[in-house]
Amino acid sequence: MITVESLTKKYGGFTAVDDVSFTAASGRVTGFLGPNGAGKSTSMRIIVGLTPATSGHATVCGRRYAELPNPGLEVGVLLDASAQHAGRTGREILTVAARTMGLPARRVDEMLDRVSLTPDEAARRVRDYSLGMRQRLGIATALLGDPEVLILDEPANGLDPAGIRWMRDLLRDYADQGATVLLSSHLLHEIEVVADDLVVIGNGRIVAQGTKAELLAAAGTLVRSPELPALATALTDAGLAVTATGSGGASAALRVDAEPDVVGRVALAAGVPLTELRAADGAGLEEMFLELTAETQRETVTEGAAA
């Protein structure tokens, strides 16, 4: 289990992580989501002791990471696949890690086989690896000590579709065996498929958290109409909370904090035709994510603001 309590990290006058609290439970995959610069990577670095917190704390398996006597046997970490020693071979990197953890040499071959790196690939220097191969090597290193906790930042980055499917199945199987998996990714569909719980962060603060089912079910109703402005006015006049979603044109829609039958009755009374009316949980994770983090998205910053 991972427990994060009131975690804050400041760099001068900038607050990268602001009073963040959440729990990643055993036997579950927790998806950690947020726009670029939202504080995901900083939070993960604090959890594994690479960055000191300004205040608050994080524990893994009931202890701070720095207090774990042999961390690799309890926590598998992959934060940056490109940070591996470029002059060493994949096999050498795993061998050094295995010796550091006091593991038998056979674990190296077991992990190479588990992540599908061939003997020829394992003998290459990491500088000659593709990003996908570096990801596989990083995952092998994280799994080497058979830890009960995995902390992975964008582990599918650089993998092809088959590799992403392999990654998804591996993490799901690992959690099903009782492990804790904390997974950060910008591939929202992959998070939606594999995650049990979601933690959404924006501007360094938690904007939503809960089970995937709870968050998607709380998304309300998605409705589309050729007369969207009139529909929005009617719904607002009826006292309902309305949020515009989609990128405009045919994809433009409204998300309404009400049941579909309520939205339908308001539209009927206002004489506004509808082309789509359904529970917003069917809209999936992407629309929920974009709505929750709308104010923190780089693309929504007014032109002329700092990049």
The average pLDDT across 214-232 equals: 84
More confident residue, 145 or 282: 145
pLDDT of 35 reads 84
The answer as to whether 190 is a domain residue is yes
- Which CATH number goes with the domain that contains 72? 3.40.50.300
- Residue 284's pLDDT band, with cuts at 50, 70 and 90, is low
Q: Does 250 have pLDDT greater than 70?
A: no
Give whichever of 161-165, 251-255, 277-281 has the largest mean pLDDT: 161-165
- Residue 297's pLDDT band, with cuts at 50, 70 and 90, is low
The average pLDDT across 218-245 equals: 88
Among 211, 241, 256, the domain boundary falls at 211
The answer as to whether 307 is a domain residue is no
The torsion of the CA quartet 290, 211, 186, 299, rounded to 10 degrees, works out to: 20
Question: Contact, 47 vs 100, CB < 8 A?
Answer: no
Shared domain check, 252 and 192: no
Mean residue pLDDT of the chain comes to 88
pLDDT of 296 reads 60
3-state secondary structure of 211: strand
- Give the domain range for residue 269: 219-300
Q: How many Å apart are CA 239 and CA 235, to the nearest integer? A: 7
Shared domain check, 49 and 137: yes
Among 185, 211, 237, the domain boundary falls at 211
Shared domain check, 136 and 250: no
Among 153, 183, 211, the domain boundary falls at 211
The average pLDDT across 268-274 equals: 95
pLDDT of 251 reads 66
- Residue 303's pLDDT band, with cuts at 50, 70 and 90, is very low
Shared domain check, 168 and 122: yes
pLDDT of 222 reads 85
Tens of pLDDT, residue by residue over 10-58, are 999 999 999 999 999 999 999 998 888 889 999 999 999 999 999 999 9
Shared domain check, 136 and 27: yes
Shared domain check, 233 and 163: no
More confident residue, 124 or 189: 124
Task: Supply 169's token pair.
Answer: 């199945």
The answer as to whether 14 is a domain residue is yes
Shared domain check, 84 and 179: yes
Count the domains in the chain.
2
pLDDT of 246 reads 66
- Which CATH number goes with the domain that contains 289? 3.30.70
Q: Does 228 have pLDDT greater than 90?
A: yes
pLDDT of 249 reads 66
Shared domain check, 62 and 26: yes
Buried b / exposed e over 28-51, threshold 16 CB at 10 Å, is bbbbbbbbeebbbbbbbbbbbbeb
pLDDT of 287 reads 67
pLDDT of 307 reads 32
The average pLDDT across 211-223 equals: 77
Shared domain check, 175 and 102: yes
- Residue 203's pLDDT band, with cuts at 50, 70 and 90, is confident
Shared domain check, 253 and 171: no
3-state secondary structure of 109: helix
More confident residue, 258 or 41: 41
Residue bearing tokens 């002329």: 304
Residue bearing tokens 């994060």: 4
The average pLDDT across 239-268 equals: 83
Shared domain check, 93 and 169: yes
Strand order through the sheet with 253-256: 242-245, 253-256, 221-224, 276-279
Shared domain check, 122 and 36: yes
Q: Does 281 have pLDDT greater than 70?
A: no
Q: Does 187 have pLDDT greater than 80?
A: no
The answer as to whether 305 is a domain residue is no
Return the axis-axis angle of helices 131-143 and 90-101, rounded to nearest 10°: 20
The answer as to whether 306 is a domain residue is no
The answer as to whether 6 is a domain residue is yes
Tens of pLDDT, residue by residue over 88-110, are 999 999 999 999 999 999 999 99
The torsion of the CA quartet 304, 292, 199, 162, rounded to 10 degrees, works out to: -80
**Strand ranges inside 73-215, DSSP E:** 75-78, 149-153, 180-184, 197-202, 205-211
